[in-house]
Structure 1
Amino acid sequence: MTMNNVTAKLRQKNIKNYYLLLLCTILSVMLVTSFALIYFSKTVQTILPEGGDSRKQASMIFVIAIVGCCVFTTYASSLFFKYKSREFGIFMALGEKKKHLKKVLLKELSVVISAASAVGLVLSVPLSYFIWKIFQIFIVDTHEMQYQFSPLGFCYGMGFCIFVTLCIFISGVKFIKRSNIIEIITDSRKSEVVKDVKSWTGIAGWIIFFSGIFLGYMVPHIAVRKFNYRLPSIWNVTFLLSFVGIYKIMLYTVVHSKKGRNSKKYYRNIISSNMMRFAGKQTVRNMCVIAFLIAGALFAAFYTPTAVTGMFSDLKARSIDNVFFYRQDETQISKEEIYSLAHENNVKITDYFEAETISLIIDGVRRDYVGNKLIEEHCEKLKYSNFMSEESFNKISGEEVVVQNGQYLTVVSKEYTEGFWKKSNDLSLVTHPVTDITENLAFVDVVRFSSLSFDGTNIYVISNEDYERLYQGLTEDKKHKFVLFNVENPEETYFFTKKLRDEIINRSSENVAIVSSYDLYKKQMCEEEGEKYWLDDYNVELSVDNSQLFMDWKYYPMFKVVNSQDLIKNLAVFLMLFIYIAIICFAAVAIIAYTRSVTIAIDNKALFMNLKKLGANNKYIERSVKKQLAKIFIYPTIVGSTAIYLFFGMIMFANGGSNISSSEYMALSINFAIILIACAFMYSVYRIALRRVKVMIGIH
């Protein structure tokens, strides 16, 4: 019988080991590539803002998913090598040369990994299409939610295949290079024992973990706010303390056992505790990976409630049902036409206001970094802002503010908090854009009125006399008209407000197809210096079918009913992307945890049989198994979810100017509910793994 015949017989007998490596590689490649196909598609890349937080978050979590899947695949390969060690050791004992065994192993790996990579790459396309379509059918289907195949995403998938293949081949070469035959033969029974750790290791782990998060995120925030200094990027290595803390926590969980006062409990669990210790290193590594992937999955899942609650809170804070504004050089829908459209749709308008604002050039503080030092530079002419007369503001708001000549009030939303980059009292000078006359204005206070809040539009209230004087000589493009009105039974006016919104969009010209932060004064300065204004590259598609207008367009109407009911539709691509990331991470977590559970059964099956022979009943053995599996599932879930929940809370605290708003409290509550759902998911995987392990060790 030739060597090929022998290896073929062994391969046939141990086919399950090949299936394990094949399946794990297919799943890893399929998950990573399917996400890459979606993430790098034209649909998603067009909607995700370049350099925006959402794109950075998606990229960061994608890296976590790649690392998790890579670790998962290399772990599966280590199990494969462990099972192969006995037969290769015997071959070496019989005189077979390493050189030939190396060729046999690499040939088998080439066939398995190539087949798995090909299958994973092929299946990733229908998988990504299927998930996209499921989201369209059951969540939302919009004009932008069109599936588009991404060749770049496929390239990332192939790159992942190459990287994983190299990792597995390197591990295979290291495996075959061992010179000690006895070591190779006994590798399948070799344990990765971890010595006992001190009782303070767990507490130290939590302290190191929290210190890493605080030093990595809060200290840079404090340095900027208190000392106007940005810490160098090397400071981000302090986040690694959190990883060290997680490792310490997992190590303590797996290894530590002490008799303590309750010696009966100690001896009852001594078998399960020491079984975990004998495979301690491998178990701790798996638990750390599970914790990181759970953190990444939850971070992605937290995006949806945070975005939705913030926008719903903003709409709820608006006291006027429908508000829109436009430049007066535009031919927009009139009051009579609005009333006529309302009559056609059986809608009764109860309050109707129109108010003018004027655009003046204001001064301000330009804040930027020079090196790591924050520099604040005062500019006498910075940008355009809108000004409203005291009389107009009181009419539409119901307030009775009084503004003296030479003073101003800053209009802010109800949940406004003073930011670091933008302050309500920066304004001190205004310049008439036609006469170029500059005047002083003094800040008095802020006035909270959310209905005038539009992204990229600042409103200041000045005295009637100042307004009338500054109004003189302005061109129509420097004047805006705000239209505000309430309706009876606003919840029943969706179709009316939708038709009105569509009419406003259709009547708007390309001159106002600009993003929220577009400023005509900055454009003018760029043209005078012979440069191109960078926001000219951002084209806004003025179409009623463009659901992304609510994020992009400067003059998008704020209609409470239509905006709230269309919110999920408008955020469709964002929601799908982050939900899909969460699905990938949780899928990897389930597979890693389940595989580790099965490995425990395989490695300790003989021990469980010996316990039976010594008189242990099935109930005792089952309790020992549960103790081990519980550590694999419970502690990574607790640590991963706690870490990301705390980190998310810090982000909200820092972004809100050391304050958490009511909408953010609501988002944190929903996020906590998501954590409970994740715990339920992990428990279901635990029950499935437990059932399988019981069958494998014969106590089902």
Structure 2
Amino acid sequence: MSFPQFAFNNVRRNARQYFAYLLSSSFMVMIFFTYAVFIYHPAIENSPMGAMTRTGMTIATVIVYVFAFLFVLYSISVFLKSRNREFGILTILGAEAKQINWLIFLENILIGAIAIVSGIASGMLLSKVFLLISTKVIDMDELPFYWPVKAMLLTAGAFAALFLVISLFTLLFIRKNQVLELLKGTSKPKTEPKANLFLALLGVVLLTIGFTVLRVKELDPAGLIIAAITGIMGTYFFYSQLSVWIVRMLQRNRGTTWKGTNLLWISEMSYKIKDNARMLFLVTVVVALASMSTGFVLAMQQSIKSVYLDNPYALSYTYFSNADETKVQEELDLIENRLQTEGLEYKRAEVETIYYRLSANGEDSLHIMPQSQYDRLAAMMNTKPAGTFGENEALLAETPTAARKSKGKLTEADIELSGQPYSFILENRTDRIAALVYSGRLLVVTDTMFEELRGGNNANEISVNHTYPFIFLDSQGLPQKDDPETKLGLELSEWNRSAISEGYIESRAENYYVNKQGFSLFSFIGVFVALIFSISSASFLYFKLHTELSADQAMYRSLSKIGLSAREMNISATIQIAVLFFIPILVAALQSLVVLGPVLGYLDAPFVSGPVLVASSAFLAAQMIYFLIARARYIKSVNGMMV
């Protein structure tokens, strides 16, 4: 038997051990390949969403590749540790270090080659379906199937390099081990797990700092980075130190610990959590990132829907005071001609507003408008008019989004125009009429006051906007790609960007459709990346269970000799496996709920727990399937050792 045949037989005989690893690796290759098929598709160049789609898919392939590197490196290191006894026997039989290294190298290359071939083959079978689903989700024109030579070469080359580098790198894992240490394998007695009180307290402090930064301080990028660093470090200390301390406290409770088989699984958990701290930490971080990304996309999709529904103006045309009136009229006529050609019934109004900056950087602003024009808009939309108020009174109308951002009711406002200060007593109202302006905030004053504000000493310095809002009479629900409002909005917006225009056009359907496409793209990419994270996290757990299987089999066999029944063993093993599988999901869900609220608030998006719970529930459901499979295989193996 030649040496390559020996390596091949080793892989074949350990097929059960390598199955989960090979399946996960093949799945990563397949996803990488399908993204590459999309990136190199010849029709993408001419697509309106082509540039953004290609960029998104490219980012996704990089994420998949980096994660694949870390996953393969971790998996191989786990396999090598589980085979220490085998390497020790080979050494006693006369195998040299370079021969063992060559054996490991050949096995890794063989597994990598199988993963690459099977991944590309399955990707080829699914590429047409992938293109069809992706274009439907992103709402692009259907992409025809093509022979993806570039994608195949990129995938094969990238993963061949990945497996080659890792195969060389993993040779360092066993180079310094002595023969006696190899022969002991995983059967060496474990030291009693101990928690470092200082590190446990440090973990609590770090988690508290992260929570405080997110909740107390108004979030900014620097605060988000601090929260991320302290949260990740605190999570690691939670598993490596704090969890051991919690189990120790549980062991001291004799009423719980000394009941049935609780003593067995509680004692074992203190070892398993300590041994698997890094793996549990890694799974938690991976699931938390995927859950937060999914929750973020779902929340933003809800946000763009609400922005569309809160805007009663299908189109608006705005110009400034220094515009050419003749050209403005020509552009208005063009818009109305297109509306009539499409057969859309509408109402048109004319509104003047004064732009006012509330802060020096212009990030916070409002528009001032006269009461008569506000009442005219209210009559067109059958809503409540401004009412009657005095010279120093005003109405502050805000869209629902702007009202959430203002964080409470304002009772008064101080402004200064042309060097003249003005103070107003305010009536607050949440009203869709305020969607007329980008800021979503309208200060409605009397007509007399408006003329005074517009005609001050430095009237030339005051920015007066003239807006023509168009209200469609038959607007229903969310727009679709082929709806007249959507097609007209895209057409007019494109014309407005390409032509030298006196004003600018705002289309709610165009804004909704473009944002919907963008987030649909991220959602589509995120689903496949989340699938990789989910399958890989389950593989991590499966590898660790398999590594510890020999020791667990010996322990349960010894316990069965002194009276432990198969049913009691099943209950104890099930609890331990469930803790390893589900604790990371629960911790990740809690972290997602804590983090996403402030992040979405910083982006002015309404935070709802629904998207996070949906994402976490999806991971929980997938983890349940992996748990049932891993439990069945584990208990079957252990049952075979019971007497």
Query: Could you say which TM-score interval applies, normalised by the shorter chain?
Result: 0.7 to 0.9
Alignment partner of 1:262 is 2:255: yes
Alignment partner of 1:464 is 2:464: no
When residues 683 and 341 of structure 1 are mapped into structure 2, their CA distance, relative to the original with a 3 A threshold, is: same
Whole-Å separation in 2 of the counterparts to 1:274 and 1:384: 62
When residues 128 and 440 of structure 1 are mapped into structure 2, their CA distance, relative to the original with a 3 A threshold, is: farther
Whole-Å separation in 2 of the counterparts to 1:241 and 1:49: 34
Whole-Å separation in 1 of the counterparts to 2:8 and 2:494: 73
CA contact (8 A) 1:272 1:624 kept: yes
Whole-Å separation in 2 of the counterparts to 1:14 and 1:572: 42
Instruction: Report what 1:25 is aligned to.
Output: 25
C-alpha deviations, 1:128-148, integer Å up to 9, x for none? 7644533545x5633498999
Which residue of 310, 317, 322 corresponds with 1:325? 317
Whole-Å separation in 2 of the counterparts to 1:604 and 1:519: 78
Instruction: Report what 1:393 is aligned to.
Output: 374
CA contact (8 A) 1:28 1:73 kept: no
Instruction: Report what 1:691 is aligned to.
Output: 632
Which residue of 470, 487, 505 corresponds with 1:555? 505
Whole-Å separation in 2 of the counterparts to 1:495 and 1:260: 61
Q: Give the superposition deviation at 1:181.
A: 0.9
Which residue of 343, 354, 359 corresponds with 2:349? 354
SS of residue matched to 2:588 = helix
Q: Give the superposition deviation at 1:302.
A: 0.5
Instruction: Report what 2:302 is aligned to.
Output: 309
When residues 419 and 493 of structure 1 are mapped into structure 2, their CA distance, relative to the original with a 3 A threshold, is: closer
Where do residues 669-684 of structure 1 align in structure 2 (5 Å cutoff)? 669-684=610-625
AA aligned to 1:25 is: S
Q: Which runs of 5+ in 1 are unaligned?
A: 368-378, 431-437, 521-553
When residues 296 and 385 of structure 1 are mapped into structure 2, their CA distance, relative to the original with a 3 A threshold, is: closer
Q: Identify which range, 628-637 or 4-13, moves more after superposition.
A: 4-13
AA aligned to 1:557 is: S
CA contact (8 A) 1:293 1:585 kept: yes
Alignment partner of 1:210 is 2:191: no
AA aligned to 1:621 is: M
Instruction: Report what 1:374 is aligned to.
Output: none
SS of residue matched to 1:96 = coil
C-alpha deviations, 1:170-207, integer Å up to 9, x for none? 333231332x2111122143466551448x89985873
CA contact (8 A) 2:415 2:423 kept: yes
SS of residue matched to 1:556 = strand
Which residue of 422, 436, 440 corresponds with 1:442? 422
C-alpha deviations, 1:52-91, integer Å up to 9, x for none? xxx8xx97x9988766544432332133213432232122
TM-score of the superposition, structure 2-length normalised? 0.74
SS of residue matched to 2:350 = strand
Alignment partner of 1:46 is 2:51: yes
Alignment partner of 1:183 is 2:181: yes
Instruction: Report what 1:483 is aligned to.
Output: 469
Whole-Å separation in 1 of the counterparts to 2:170 and 2:329: 70
Whole-Å separation in 1 of the counterparts to 2:149 and 2:450: 54
AA aligned to 1:354 is: A
SS of residue matched to 1:189 = coil
SS of residue matched to 1:357 = strand
Q: Give the superposition deviation at 1:643.
A: 0.9
Whole-Å separation in 1 of the counterparts to 2:494 and 2:6: 78
Q: Give the superposition deviation at 1:165.
A: 4.8
AA aligned to 1:442 is: Y
C-alpha deviations, 1:32-55, integer Å up to 9, x for none? 6656776998787834899xxxx8
Which residue of 489, 494, 499 corresponds with 2:484? 499
CA contact (8 A) 1:68 1:289 kept: no
Whole-Å separation in 2 of the counterparts to 1:291 and 1:505: 43
CA contact (8 A) 2:257 2:263 kept: no
Instruction: Report what 1:579 is aligned to.
Output: 527
TM-score of the superposition, structure 1-length normalised? 0.69
C-alpha deviations, 1:626-685, integer Å up to 9, x for none? 0211111121111111111111123245555xxxx8x53xx2134324433432332232
Q: Which runs of 5+ in 2 are unaligned?
A: 320-327, 379-383
CA contact (8 A) 2:283 2:584 kept: yes
SS of residue matched to 2:251 = coil
Where do residues 634-653 of structure 1 align in structure 2 (5 Å cutoff)? 634-653=582-601
Whole-Å separation in 1 of the counterparts to 2:627 and 2:451: 72
Alignment partner of 1:141 is 2:139: yes
Which residue of 236, 254, 278 corresponds with 1:244? 236
Alignment partner of 1:300 is 2:293: yes
Instruction: Report what 1:413 is aligned to.
Output: 399
C-alpha deviations, 1:283-316, integer Å up to 9, x for none? 2222222211221221122023312332333344
RMSD, aligned α-carbons: 5.3
Where do residues 121-132 of structure 1 align in structure 2 (5 Å cutoff)? 130-132=129-131
Where do residues 472-551 of structure 1 align in structure 2 (5 Å cutoff)? 480-485=466-471, 487=473, 491=476, 498-500=483-485, 502-503=487-488, 506=491, 510-512=495-497
Whole-Å separation in 2 of the counterparts to 1:519 and 1:190: 81
AA aligned to 2:592 is: I
CA contact (8 A) 2:33 2:151 kept: no
CA contact (8 A) 2:295 2:614 kept: no
CA contact (8 A) 2:214 2:227 kept: no
When residues 458 and 12 of structure 1 are mapped into structure 2, their CA distance, relative to the original with a 3 A threshold, is: closer
Instruction: Report what 1:590 is aligned to.
Output: 538
Q: Give the superposition deviation at 1:93.
A: 1.6
Q: Give the superposition deviation at 1:123.
A: 5.1
AA aligned to 2:484 is: K
AA aligned to 2:572 is: S
Whole-Å separation in 1 of the counterparts to 2:554 and 2:588: 33
Q: Identify which range, 606-615 or 154-163, moves more after superposition.
A: 154-163
Alignment partner of 1:104 is 2:52: no
SS of residue matched to 1:142 = coil
Whole-Å separation in 1 of the counterparts to 2:88 and 2:405: 67
Whole-Å separation in 2 of the counterparts to 1:393 and 1:25: 62
SS of residue matched to 1:587 = helix
Instruction: Report what 2:381 is aligned to.
Output: none
Q: Give the superposition deviation at 1:458.
A: 7.0
CA contact (8 A) 2:29 2:119 kept: yes
Whole-Å separation in 2 of the counterparts to 1:311 and 1:383: 21
CA contact (8 A) 1:359 1:384 kept: no
When residues 483 and 153 of structure 1 are mapped into structure 2, their CA distance, relative to the original with a 3 A threshold, is: farther
SS of residue matched to 2:94 = coil
Whole-Å separation in 2 of the counterparts to 1:354 and 1:695: 75
When residues 96 and 128 of structure 1 are mapped into structure 2, their CA distance, relative to the original with a 3 A threshold, is: same
- The alignment-based identity, stated in percent, is 13
Q: Give the superposition deviation at 1:583.
A: 2.5
Which residue of 591, 611, 617 corresponds with 2:559? 611
